[in-house]
Structure 1
Amino acid sequence: MSSLSTLPAPAHNVQQRVSAEEWQVRVKLAAAYRMAALFRWTDHIYTHFSARVPGPHEHFLINAFGLLFDEISASNLVKVDVDGTVIDDPLGLGINQAGYVIHSAIHQARPDLLAVMHTHTRDGAAVSAQRGGLLPLSQHALAYYSRVAYHDYEGIALDVEEQQRLVANLGSSNILILRNHGLLTGGVSVEHAFRELHGLERACNIQIAAQAGGNADLHYAPAAAIDKVRQQSALQASGDGPGIARHWDALIRQLDRQGQGYAQ
């Protein structure tokens, strides 16, 4: 495995040898990494986002192990299959084994989820460590409260035997809190998975802030409101409707003010 002190260019022109559809997904996934860096959701070179490669093969794209999120570009993403075989690794860095275990399990079990995103943020990990998990404390939280799933911590996710339990706990949901670990969202597109993660992270921020008052009583949303917001959030949950694209387009405008290196 290679080591690097400066980031080299990929060994060959990736855009010229992949389909236009794959390149589009690469650009979107790289943008998601850069936005996560912009929002300070990163854990140095750890954690991972992935996206399924369009086409008949069970391939997905994930970050090269050793790159910071703000170094990810469309050309340096690694293509891997669900069995762990690296198909294309432009920088020769390989991938994080924990990333493979988590993402391959979900891509194989849930072909409806074209993108999967996982974070170790301070507030996300803090909520994951609470017995009650995500609480119905805010409008943000209510968008997820009725559909969040949980997976108990089993150690660093290096054991492929954990995959079966991970996907069983995820079930038909696309929102998973990994206990004592972090957050995970899936989506029918990169844009959808990122929208889900953006709101979930914010819900965790609000929960930790609300709990910072110590012994102050917290007011939970009433059951009727929880059910109402569940219905109102149905389009976001499914990835349908104009809201996902509107949210993504605004994020891209924000990101592009920092430069467009992600698209290279």
Structure 2
Amino acid sequence: MRRKAFTLVELLVVVSIISLLLLLLTPSLARARKMTRNVSCRSNLHQIQLAMTQYVQAAKGDVFRYYLTFDTFWVNLLRRFNGNIDDLRLCPSAAKEGSGVGSFCTAWTGRYSPGSWMNNNTRFIYGSYGFNAWLHPNPGRGPQEYYFGQLDKIRTPNMVPAYLDANWVDGWLDHTDPPPPDRRGSTTVPNLARFAIKRHGQSINGSFMDGSARNIPLDDLFQIQWSLGFQVGAPLILPPDNDDSSG
């Protein structure tokens, strides 16, 4: 006996049910993708931190010095200790290059600066993470007494950040920094604006000098010790932003 074919009404009902299921599942799938990118980002930072730990151990406790040269840029210095550094330097939520300075969803790049410390005319560097420049042993800017420089000056390594989601290669974040105009990675206000970006919702990921990597809500950026002179717990003012579409 031949089976009866679907009627047009039945087909429309099936299509409607499938469409409804897809509509219900889409937010869950989007959240799952964001969660995966977030976990992958923390894994990247953890591995970068391990490479830095090996570098510092080989240097008998000294952090690498601050020089504006291609060969002494932190990405190139750590390549010796992790051959996958070129993959690790990109957050999955900001893997696409920006136009120079990055943003909450794009990477910083040296593509457009030939001959600079980010570009040796045969290769250029780009990435999504920034280094806490107060860890350098020689001052590039700011008060000299704020710099860590060596491991023996770091008393609470679980509170001292090293590498974090950022729109630039490094930064000297301080409790006196003015608030940025937004949370998208402003280029008009340095340091705080480089890290106060909504890359993973209203938070970023960061590695710490104890070897850990964790998520940091933007409102907690002043709850960690950026430098020897940083006032942990100082008031932090950030512009309001209720859009959690990043991630």
Q: Report the TM-score range of the alignment, normalised by the length of the smaller protein.
A: under 0.3
Larger Rg: 2
Higher helix residue share: 1
TM-score by length of 1: 0.22
TM-score by length of 2: 0.23
